[in-house]
Amino acid sequence: MTEILYDFFRGASGFALIVIGLGFFLEPERQRIRIALGALFLSIGISFVLSWTSRFGLLPQMLDNLLLIAIVFVASQSLFELKLYLFGDEARRGTRRVVYIIGVGWSLLLWCLPFLDTVFGLPVLMLSIEDGRPVALFQSLVMFSVYLWPITIGCISLRVGRWRPSDVPSGSRVINTLLAVLILLLVILVFIVSSFIVGSITLYHLAQTLLQAMALGWYLRLKASPDLFSQARKEIGREHKKKTHLDPEEIAVIEEKLRRLEIEERIHTNPGLDPSSLAKILGIPVYRLSVFMTIYRGSSFAEWLHAARINQARSLLSEDANRDIPDTARAAGFSSLTVFKSQFLRRVGMTPEAYRAKNAAASGRAKRKVPVKG
């Protein structure tokens, strides 16, 4: 009885999700976010229908692999588009295209791997939980690895957007809804992979049923709140803007404090100085220091630190034309002589040795020009 109900729900939900997905494509606006949702529902629906039809007959293994990998690829790219939309689109133009190419390459690799089972005549390791077919080494690797791409692309999408996960506002009902769906999806993927590892048909059926119910429930939630994603995007964008905005008064205070720390305390000569410690001394959060450096100074913490240390080194070499180079590097705050020399050459246009020799020559000429009193 349980198996009959599982088959019925699997087939019915699959056809329902296909219709839902096609409905998104037929919308007159054809917004990118709606197309991504349509592709996601359509791919999930097709996967359930194919799973349901397997009880009547099996497709050739390679064709079955191709369809599974293509479905997971489309679903993964749809999730990527949804997350990219939420986080303000790609920060660097062309990133989306690169991710798509990597996804296609990974999918082709997975499809080709099972051919090696035939080439090398590898023995059967297990039976497929989905359809009971014998599975050799590389086919089993594909069964596990196909679910790695949606997890990987989910992590990538959080790094390539204009906004960051740290910009997600806390306490938002819209954001909490999306996070709950994401967490549930990850749990279901873990269940599916675990079912393959332990060979549990019950766990596999449970994960599939949860996925079907989640997809249908998600559609109902979207029908109730069609602007869910756009509202979440606006909230994340507002939080990002709030975090990246500094008042003129705050900028002036940070500038003055930083100038005093450079001139009076020479804080840059501390070899262990990092953004966290500097932000603590300035009395501001680390992200505010990052905003100050990148947006209002057009630089970064590392660039500021190297520039301040090189200026310190130039001052030391100008004061003493015979000063030891390694000692100068340490006194300026560098713990690596190699880094010191490369930064000095980059910023001054000559090596520390050449700079020291130039100052020594200039100092000698100045001494010769001083008139002797007699």
Query: CA angle, 222 as apex, 217 and 225 as ends, to 5°?
Result: 130
3-state secondary structure (DSSP) of residue 90? strand
Q: Round to whole Å and give the CA distance between 173 and 75.
A: 25
Q: How many CA atoms lie within 13 A of 196 on its CB side?
A: 20
pTM above 0.75, yes or no: no
Among 296, 165, 174, 167, residue whose Cα is nearest residue 238: 167
Which fold, 246-363?
Arc Repressor Mutant, subunit A (1.10.10)
Domain 2-241 indexed as CATH 1.10.150:
no
Residue listed under structure tokens 């030391």: 316
Return d(Cα 121, Cα 119) in angstroms, integer: 6
* CB contact at 8 A, 87 and 239: no
Query: Cβ(310)–Cβ(344) under 8 Å?
Result: yes
In the three-class reduction of DSSP (H, G, I as helix; E, B as strand; rest coil), residue 274 is classed as coil
What burial class does residue 313 get, using C-beta atoms within 10 Å of its C-beta: 0-12 exposed, 13-18 middle, 19+ buried? buried
Q: How far apart are CA 248 and CA 289, in angstroms?
A: 14
What is the spatial distance between Cα 133 and Cα 125, in angstroms, rounded to a whole number? 11
Domain boundaries, the chain: 2-241, 246-363
The phi, psi pair for 127, rounded to 5°, reads: -110, 140
Q: Do 340 and 329 contact (CB within 8 A), yes or no? A: yes
The string of pLDDT tens digits covering residues 37-72 is: 999 999 999 999 999 998 888 899 999 999 999 999
How many C-alpha atoms does 72 have within 13 Å on its Cβ side? 26
In tens, the pLDDT along 220-276 reads 999 999 999 999 999 999 988 888 888 889 899 999 999 999 998 999 999 999 999
Task: Identify any residues that bridge with 90 across adjacent strands, giving them in sequence order.
Answer: 161
**pLDDT less than 50: residues of the chain:** 372-374
Per the listing, tokens 């020559």 go with 361
Alpha-carbon span 42 to 73, nearest angstrom: 12
